[in-house]
Amino acid sequence: MTCPVSSRRSKQVDLLTVRSLVRQLPLGMPPTAYYFCDDPACDIVYFPSNSEAPIFRRSDLMVRVGVKETQEPTPVCYCFGFSRQDIWEEIRKTGKSTAAGRIATEVNAGNCACEVKNPSGNCCLGNVHGVVKQFERQRSLEEDS
C-alpha cells in the first residue's frame, strides 16, 4: 500500500500497535488493515486499507514518531528509552555506543514490547545500528578535521 499523502510505499502494521499508540480511538472503528507511513515529511502515521476507517496523524499518537521528528530528543528505542541524543553523547564521550548490545541483551531476555511501544510495530535494532554508524562516521570526520 502507498500512503495517500506522500505516495510512499508503506508496510502493514498490526492493529494491536495502532490500538496501543493512538491517543483516542473512535468508537466502532472497523477492524481493517493499517499501514505505517515512515516518510519524515508526511504527517500521517497510520492509514487504513479501507477508506471508511480513520487516518491517524502524528498528533493522534501518545508517543513521538522518531522517523518523523526533527528535534531532539528523537526516540530510536521505545522499549528501553534510547534517543539519538543518548547514542551521540555516548559516542562523543567514549568513541563507541553500547546501545545496540544492551538492547539485544534485553530482547534476548524477552523484555521488549516493540509491537505496542514502537509506532512501526517493529524491533528498533536496525534503526539503532543505523544511528550508531551515522554518528561513528560523524565523530570520525570531526576527529579528522
Number of structural domains (the chain) is 2
71 and 40 in contact (C-beta within 8 Å)? no
Question: Looking at the domain assignment, is residue 1 inside a domain?
Answer: no
Is the pLDDT score of 44 beyond 80? Answer: yes
Range of the structural domain that residue 88 is part of: 66-144
Cell of 123: 524491533
- What pLDDT band is residue 30 in, cutting at 50, 70 and 90? confident
Taking the mean position of all CA atoms in its chain, how far away is CA 137?
22
Question: Looking at the domain assignment, is residue 4 inside a domain?
Answer: no
Average pLDDT over the chain, rounded to an integer? 94
pTM for the full model? 0.91
Structure confidence at residue 144 (pLDDT): 80
11 and 126 in contact (C-beta within 8 Å)? no
Same domain, 49 and 16: yes
